[in-house]
Amino acid sequence: MIEIKGKYNTAKIFIDKVEEKAAEQILELCNQEFVKGSMIRIMPDTHAGAGCTIGTTMTIKDKIVPNLVGVDIGCGMFVSRLKETKVDFAKLDKVIRAFVPSGFNVRKTPHEYNAHIELNNLKCKEHIDLNRARLSIGTLGGGNHFILRPRWAVGIA
């Protein structure tokens, strides 16, 4: 793991090497006052992006930063602390593939989080397939989206 310390915050990068341009973008982010008090975590697939580093995750409670969202506007992130356990990664992979739709696939029934998301209030609702949007909540998606359970990350968030 690498840490990059800026003027207002420090980012943890969950990889041992990061490309120079991505490191510059991460440092620039940490030098912005709006990141003060946020948790900044950079995922292992990180690389330089247009506007911000791909793989950037962070807590932001009372701000909107459009260039950090980009095309991943519908993406979410969930992190949980895990107790040290032995994991059968092959079995875990099979379970994930069986129960978490990915790519262009969607759920057969809506995820429980649908109750907390007011898609009908979207100003663009007449331009999207609301049913598909509801069935997409809780899926993995495609591209650089992933589920990560590294062997070394026990108890780290």
Question: Which segments are annotated as binding site for Mn(2+)?
Answer: 72
Say which residues have a Cβ less than 8 Å from residue 81's Cβ, sequence separation at least 6: 155, 156, 157
Nearest partner of 55 among 68, 38, 64, judged by Cα = 68
Placement of tokens 């992933």 in the chain? 146
On whether the CB atoms of residues 110 and 116 are closer than 8 A, the answer is no
Which residues belong to the annotated binding site? 72
Q: Of the candidates 131, 11, 27, 137, which has an alpha carbon nearest to the alpha carbon of residue 78?
A: 137
DSSP one-letter code for 7:
S
